[in-house]
Amino acid sequence: MNEKNSKTPTHDSGLFLGLMSGTSLDGVDAVLARFEPSLEIRFARTYELPDNLVKNLLRLSQTDAEIHLDAVGRLDSELGQCFASIVLQCLRDAGMDANAISAIGSHGQTLRHAPMGEHPFTMQLGDANIIAERCGIDTVADFRRRDVAAGGQGAPLVPAFHAAVFSQTGEERAVLNIGGIANLTLLHRDGRVRGFDTGPGNGMMDAWCRKQLDINFDANGEFAASGSVHRELLQACLKDAWFDKAPPKSTGRDQFNLEWLQTKMQGLAVSPADVQATLTALTAHTIAHELKAAMPDCQRLLVCGGGSHNPVLMQHLRNLLAMTQIQTTAEHGLHPDYVEAAAFAWLARETLAKRPGNVSTVTGAKGPRVLGVVYPK
**What is the mean pLDDT of the segment spanning 192-198?**
96
**What is the mean pLDDT of the segment spanning 239-260?**
94
**Alpha-carbon gap, residue 1 to 21, rounded angstroms:** 23
Cα distances (Å, whole numbers) of residue 194 to 182, 282, 326: 15, 23, 19
Least confident range of 50-54, 134-138, 281-285: 50-54
Cβ–Cβ < 8 Å for 161, 33? no
pLDDT at 151: 97
* Strand partners for 182: 178, 199
pLDDT band, residue 23 (cuts 50/70/90): confident
pLDDT at 254: 83
pLDDT band, residue 65 (cuts 50/70/90): low
**What is the mean pLDDT of the segment spanning 337-355?**
98
**What is the mean pLDDT of the segment spanning 217-222?**
97
Mean of all residue pLDDT scores within the chain = 93
**What is the mean pLDDT of the segment spanning 287-291?**
98
pLDDT at 191: 94
- Number of Cβ within 10 Å of residue 375's Cβ equals 21
pLDDT at 57: 87
**What is the mean pLDDT of the segment spanning 101-129?**
95
Q: Given a cut of 90, is residue 63 above it in pLDDT?
A: no
**Alpha-carbon gap, residue 375 to 80, rounded angstroms:** 13
pLDDT band, residue 341 (cuts 50/70/90): very high
Least confident range of 249-263, 300-314, 355-369: 249-263
Cβ–Cβ < 8 Å for 90, 17? yes
Q: Given a cut of 50, is residue 8 above it in pLDDT?
A: no
Q: Given a cut of 50, is residue 11 above it in pLDDT?
A: no
**Alpha-carbon gap, residue 335 to 157, rounded angstroms:** 19
Cβ–Cβ < 8 Å for 63, 257? yes
Domains of the chain are 15-154+338-375 (3.30.420.40), 159-336 (3.30.420.40)
- Number of Cβ within 10 Å of residue 326's Cβ equals 17
pTM: 0.91
pLDDT at 5: 41
**What is the mean pLDDT of the segment spanning 325-352?**
97
Q: Given a cut of 90, is residue 214 above it in pLDDT?
A: yes
Buried-state track 101-121, b at ≥16 Cβ within 10 A, e below 16: bbbbbbbbbbbbbbbeeeebe
